[in-house]
Amino acid sequence: MAQHQDNRYHQIKRVLEIHHKKVIKDFSRKHAPLLKKTASKGVSLAGAAVIFSSLLAGAASSDISGTKQPIRSEKKEGSEDERKDINLILKSGNLLTVEKENEIANKLSKNFDLKLSSTLDGNRLNEVYGFIGAEQHLYRWPGDTLSNHDLQRAGIAPLKGAFGYFDNAEQEKYYVAVQLHELPDWNSKWSTLKPWYRYRKVFVYNPDNGKAVVAVIGDSGPSKFTGKTFGGSPEIMEYLQRVDGAQKGKVVILFIEDPDNKVALGPVITNDNLALTR
């Protein structure tokens, strides 16, 4: 819990610092005539901009400390353009080439300010794009019950996940199931691959609405005969808005390069090309 709060603190601090600089620059450019008048009265251009931007930053900081919601602001125009470009790539064929996977990873990395890739440490998923279906809650620790979870209508699986109990509640809240059993070398190298994939951090992106979540690989599945490639926790499916009657939809899943474990789990919001997770 302390590590998660520390990660969140540094993410918020980074967003506010860059937001502060941007407000000063934008304010100075848009209100140059007014600032020149204030300068004639002994107030510098930078000083006036700082006063104004401090008010904005203070309001944003107050909102963060008072709620669990991430910072929200109007997305820059490039975000929508990037989403359209990604959708064009995804619709160009059923199977993505390595080149297309890299192109999508680069665009999403830029848009969400995260280091994303389809391959990490020489490992990859069976597929990076496909249908994700709704999964039930999983037992987080001995004695856990459905009544201790949110979104209880999803139910809870009768058995533990493929990796056993979770390290913390956030991992179960934002977990995905991937087809580890379909990896070509799983049967021969599972003893070394299983620890590597265990709670590995991934980026889950819904190309239909641009919503994204940082999650962990928390289970293996689903079977291929289901027509689905991935499974998502109740919280992930709700946030990505994949909770229609079919309980499934297509997503992109990529690895997150986060060696220092600084990227928190949960929804990711684009804010002028910055990523803030909660």
Query: Residue ranges per domain, the chain?
Result: 2-66, 77-277
Reported pTM: 0.71
% the chain with pLDDT above 90: 60
Are 156 and 149 a contacting pair, CB within 8 Å? yes
The CATH number given to 77-277 is 2.40.40.10
Q: Which long-range contacts (CB under 8 A, 24 or more apart) does 159-162 make?
A: 161/218, 161/219, 162/218, 162/219, 162/220, 162/221
Burial of 76 (0-12, 13-18, 19+ CB in 10 A): middle
Is residue 198 a contact partner of residue 100, using CB atoms and an 8 Å limit? no
Q: Which carries the bigger pLDDT value, residue 240 or residue 248?
A: 240
Tell me the pLDDT band of 169, cut-offs 50, 70 and 90.
very high
More confident site: 4 or 71:
4
Question: Where is average pLDDT lowest: 38-42, 54-58, 229-233?
Answer: 54-58
Least confident interval from 34-38, 77-81, 138-142: 34-38
The answer on pLDDT for 156 being more than 90 is yes
- For the stretch 178-216, pLDDT in tens is 999 999 999 999 999 999 999 999 999 999 999 999 999
